[in-house]
Amino acid sequence: MAVDKEELKEKIVEFATKKSKFKSKMYIKDLYKADPDAKPREVKNAANELVREGRLEFFSSGSTTMYGVPGFGKSEAQQFEGEE
């Protein structure tokens, strides 16, 4: 049975926020753990909807794409645009 999308989204945000304290960027596989009952595709769709809502954000390592919670970790400016 498909899981409820809104419920799943809340679980993903909760999971990602908790995890962000240790590691601010997560693979999609990490987000699967937010709800073991949800299918990978459901998690993907929910996570991408959260990005559209601005509650998650993408980060690129070049060859892979990761998810982060806005406000956690280093910002683009801190990392790459010089440290002044």
- Which whole-number Å values give the CA distances from 43 to 9, 16, 38, 62, 78, in the listed order? 8, 12, 6, 22, 30
Binding of another protein by 22 (CB under 8 A)? yes
Binding of another protein by 28 (CB under 8 A)? yes
φ/ψ region of 35 (left if φ > 0, alpha if ψ in -120 to 50, else beta) reads beta
Three-state secondary structure call for residue 50: helix
Q: Which one, 11 or 46, has the nearer CB to another protein? A: 46
Minimum Å gap between C-beta 62 and another protein is 5
Residues contributing to the site for another protein (CB under 8 A): 22-25, 27-30, 39-41, 44, 48, 51-52, 58-65, 67, 73-74, 76, 78-83
